[in-house]
Amino acid sequence: MILKVLSLFPGFVESFFSTSILAKAVEKRILSYENVNIRDYTTDKHRTCDDAPYGGGAGMVLKPEPLGAALAAVGADQFRTIYPTPGGRLFNQAYAEELSKEETLIFICGRYEGIDQRIIDLYVDDEISIGDYVLSSGELAAFVLIDAVFRLLPGVLSSESLEEESYKSGLLEYPQYTRPEVYQGLRVPEILLSGNHALIQQWRKEQSLCKTQRYRPDLLEKLKQEGKGYGFN
């Protein structure tokens, strides 16, 4: 997969791609990226990227010309172009899976109050929100989207870890334990030491259900409506 990230903070973007498991995917050639500085596409002496909004109001808006020139340069008319914004469609795992099937993705990282609507009309395929809260940096939201997508690419994770995780079954994950058996007086649940895999699976299912009931009753409701029972086979 090829990722092209347009922003005003290429250093921030570089730090994201050069750290952790994402860097390994780049090394393994599962992923390549282009880090594009929108400011490189300005034509005025002051390299201006933003301006006050027409109609008044607080904050600044990214001007269409530099951003549009950057988008044209990376071929935004040919590739799926994503604008992370709190005003977009809500992201989820199914959306991540859909995006992971694309050969190339372009991300526009805005700051200020947003970007000129005509850029959205001309170039953007998806306006995506990562949740009901507001971040000051479009980069952070783009990083969340990129992380959720790249880990689904073949060769990044083991297929077992992908299959077992939350949201596949529609329930939250059960608790995990590792050695030692007793930590600060707290014991690992006896059943996990029993070697009885049927009982362990049943316990994990109960734990998943309890946790989902407590934190995400909406997910249980959705499973019921879809007639899927409780995931977990």
- Binding residues vs ligand 6GU (CB under 6 A): 84-86, 128-131, 133-135, 138, 141
Q: Given the DSSP bridges, would you call strands 186-187 and 182-183 parallel, antiparallel or unpaired?
A: antiparallel
Rounded to an integer, what distance in angstroms lies between the CA atom of residue 63 and that of residue 145?
24
DSSP states of 111-144: -TTEE-HHHHHHH-SEEEE-SSS--S-HHHHHHH
Shortest distance, position 59 Cβ to ligand 6GU, whole Å: 12
Q: Which is nearer to ligand 6GU, 100 or 129 (CB)?
A: 129
Q: Which is nearer to ligand 6GU, 22 or 141 (CB)?
A: 141
Shortest distance, position 93 Cβ to ligand 6GU, whole Å: 16
Q: Which is nearer to ligand 6GU, 134 or 186 (CB)?
A: 134
Partnered with residue 128 across adjacent β-strands are 89
Q: Which is nearer to ligand 6GU, 86 or 231 (CB)?
A: 86
Which residues neighbour 30 within 8 Å (Cβ) at sequence distance 6 or greater? 1, 150, 153, 154, 155, 156
Orientation of helix 20-27 relative to helix 138-150, angle to 10°: 60
Shortest distance, position 50 Cβ to ligand 6GU, whole Å: 15
Cis amide prior to 175 (ω within 30 degrees) = no
Q: Which is nearer to ligand 6GU, 141 or 148 (CB)?
A: 141
Shortest distance, position 70 Cβ to ligand 6GU, whole Å: 19
73 contacts 32 by C-beta, under 8 angstroms: no
171 contacts 181 by C-beta, under 8 angstroms: no
Shortest distance, position 162 Cβ to ligand 6GU, whole Å: 24
Shortest distance, position 136 Cβ to ligand 6GU, whole Å: 7
Q: Which is nearer to ligand 6GU, 71 or 146 (CB)?
A: 146
